[in-house]
Amino acid sequence: MVCSARPEPTLRGSRACMRSPPVNGPQSPASAPVPTDLGIAGRFDARMLRTATVVNLLAMLTGLVAGYGAIGFRFLIGFFQNSILHGRLGFELASPLEQTRGPWMVVIPAAGFLLVAYLVRTFAREARGHGVPEVIEAVMTRGGRMRKRVVSIKALASSLTIATGGSVGREGPIVQIGSAAGSTLGQWFQVRGKDLKTLVGCGAAGAVAATFNTPIAGLVFAIELIVLELNPRSFIPLVISSVFATVVSRWHLGNEPAFIVPEHVLVHPGELVFYLGLGLLAGLVGCLTIWSLYRMEHLFEVAPLPFALKPIIGGLSLGAIGYFVPEVYGVGYETVSAVVQQNAEFATILLLVFLKILAMSLTLSAGGSGGVFAPSLFIGAMLGGAYGWVVNDWFPAMSAGYGAYALVGMAAVFAATSRATFTAIVILFEMTLDYSIILPLMFVCVIADQVAVAILKDTTIYSLKLKRKGLTFANDLGINVLSVTPIKNVMNDDVEVLHVDMTLAQAQEVTQRQGHHVYPAIGGKGVLAGIVRPRELARAIKRDGPEGRVADLAQEAPIVAHPDETVMTALRRIGDEPDPHVVVVDRWDRKLLGIATPTDLLRLSSRES
C-alpha cells in the first residue's frame, strides 16, 4: 500500500496506511501503540446482541401465539364439526365417520365450499388453497410480509372446509396462520431483512410443533421449506419458537403421540428389498398425487362456469363419494390409525389410495382451504398398508405386518410430494415415537424422494403452485437467492424511454434531463427496438447533425431477459459485457417491461444480508 502525501479521512480505531518505523530504530514491544478498535468491535457486538435479543424474544412470542393458535384452530374445527355434523355444542374434534346427518352429507360439502369460496374471495384471496405455498411466496416476493387478516380468514375458511367434509388437513392452514402471526409481530416491531423472514419461519415451526406435538419436526420443516438456511442467526429463534409452541400444546392437550402404534421392527435384512419396492411405489403415487391435484385445479379454473357453480359441483362430487366411502371425509386420522394398528380390510385400503387423491383434489380445486400434509400421510398409509398386506401374505416369515408398511408409507408419500425428506422422517418418528422402524423409514423415504426427482425434477406439491405464478422455488438449503428470484421482482418498471420517431435533438433533451447511462428505444405498441447510449448520441449529433432519427442510432440491446427468468440467468448473460443493464421484455411480443440496473441487483443481495 502506498501512502499519499495529501491528508485522507481516517477512521477511529483503524489505520488508513502503515507508516514506516522511526529513524532511530523500531519501537520496543512495551512502547508499541495499542490497537484502538476494541471500542468499535464492542459497540458492533452490542448492536448485534440487541438485534438478536429482540428477534429471540419475538420468536418466543411467536411460538406462544402459534401454540395457542393451533389450539384455537383445533377447537374451532371441533365447534363446527359438532354443530354441522352432529347437531350439538362441543369443541373437541368429532369424527365425520360418526356424523348424524345421513343423506344430507351429500350436499353439506357443497354448502361449505360455497361459503368458503365467497369468504376467501371477499376478504383474503391468499387464504385459498393449502397454505404453505402462500407462505413461501410471501418470503420470496414480499420479504416475509403477510397481511394481518390472513390469520382470521384462514382459520375460519379452513375450519369450515374440514368440518363440512373437505378432504384436507390442519397443518397447512396453521402454518399459514402461525407464519402470518410471526410476520405481523415482526412488522409491528419494525424487524427487517432476513430477521423478518426468520420470524415467518418461527411461526411455521411453532405451528407444526404445536399441531402434531413434534418440536424437532417443526424446526426441520421451517428450515427445509421456509427459511432455507441453517445458521445460528435463524436456527436459534426457530428452536425457541418450536419449544414454546410445544410447551403450550403439551400443557393444554397433553403429551401423547399423534398415533399409538404397536412396535414394528425389521424382521429380516432381506426385508429391505420389499421396502425398496414400497419406496418405488410411493414415489410414483406421490407424482400421481401432484399431477392429479394441479390437473383438477386447472380444469376448474378454465371451466366456463359461474363462480358459484364451481364449489357446488366440487362439493357435490365429494359428497357423493363420501356417502358411499365416508373415510375420505375430513382429515382421516381415524382411518390411518386403524390401518397402522392392522384393523382394516385390504380392498378398502387399496381403494382409498385413489379415492383420497380424488377427494383432496376436488376439495382444493373447488375453492376449499386446507393442507396437503395430512392427505399425503393418509394416501401413504393406505398404499403402504395394501402393499404390506400382499408382501406379508406371500412372504410371512421375512416381513412384518402390513401396519409397519403403512407407517413407513405415510412418510414416503409425503417425502415424494414435498421433497422435504428430512421432515418426513423426523415427523413420523415424533408422531409415533416408534424408533424401531427408523431404518426402513429412512430407506423408503429417500427412495421415494429420488423417484419423484427422476420424474418431476424440482417440481413438488408446493413449488408447482408457485411455478404457475412465475416463481422459481427449490427447497435446497444451499440455494442462492439470485437463482430463485425472478428478474421482474427487481427490475424498475418506471423507465424513461426514447421513441424511434424522435429526432436526435429531442432524444438529447431527454437524456440530459434524466442523466441515465442507457435508454431503451421503443416502436409501436411499446415494442423494444434497441438501446441508445448518451455518449453515442452526442457523437451522432456532432457527426450527422441533430435532425437524424433515433431509429437509425438504436443498437440491439446486449442483455435481454424475460420477466419469469431468474436474476442468476440474467447475470450469466452479462458475462464480460461492459454495460450490465438488463432490459426486460415480454416473452411473446417483446414489449418493454422494465430495466434491471446493477444497483437493483445489489439491493437484492443487501436485502438478504
Q: In this predicted model, what pLDDT tens digit does every residue of 204-217 receive, in sequence order?
A: 999 999 998 999 99
Residues 118 and 575: their CA atoms lie apart, in Å, by 50
Contacts 24+ apart (CB under 8 A), 306-311: 307/117, 307/121, 308/114, 308/117, 308/118, 310/117, 310/366, 310/367, 311/110, 311/113, 311/114, 311/116, 311/117, 311/366, 311/367, 311/368
The pLDDT score that the predictor gives to residue 494 is 81
Q: How high does pLDDT run on average in the chain?
A: 84
Angle at CA of residue 219, ends 202 and 375, nearest 5°: 100
The pLDDT score that the predictor gives to residue 476 is 64
Side-chain-facing half-sphere of 86: CA atoms under 13 Å: 18
Better-scored residue on pLDDT, 481 or 20: 481
How large is the C-alpha radius of gyration of the chain?
30
* Interacting residues of 125 by C-beta distance below 8 A, sequence separation 6+: none
Beta strands in 278-426 (DSSP E): none
Helical pair 421-432 and 402-418, crossing angle rounded to 10 deg: 140
- Quick check: 230 pLDDT over 90? no
Angle at CA of residue 239, ends 233 and 245, nearest 5°: 135
pTM, to two decimals: 0.77
How is domain 483-607 classified at the CATH fold level? CBS-domain (3.10.580)
Residues 564 and 102: their CA atoms lie apart, in Å, by 50
Domain boundaries, the chain: 45-253, 271-478, 483-607
* Interacting residues of 578 by C-beta distance below 8 A, sequence separation 6+: none
User: How many Å separate Cα 332 from the centre of its chain?
Assistant: 24
- Quick check: 4 pLDDT over 60? no
pLDDT in tens, 426-464: 998 888 887 888 899 999 999 999 999 999 988 899 888
pLDDT in tens, 255-309: 888 777 777 778 888 899 999 999 999 999 999 999 999 999 999 999 898 999 9
Residues 262 and 205: their CA atoms lie apart, in Å, by 28
The pLDDT score that the predictor gives to residue 76 is 93
Sign of the CA dihedral running 533, 536, 541, 544: negative
> Under CATH, which number does the domain 45-253 receive?
1.10.3080.10
- Quick check: 36 pLDDT over 70? no
Looking at domain 271-478, does it have CATH number 3.40.50.300?
A: no
**What element of type H or E holds 69?**
helix 38-81
The pLDDT score that the predictor gives to residue 317 is 95
Pairing of strands 592-596, 582-585: antiparallel
Residues 491 and 583: their CA atoms lie apart, in Å, by 9
Topology match between the domains 45-253 and 483-607? no
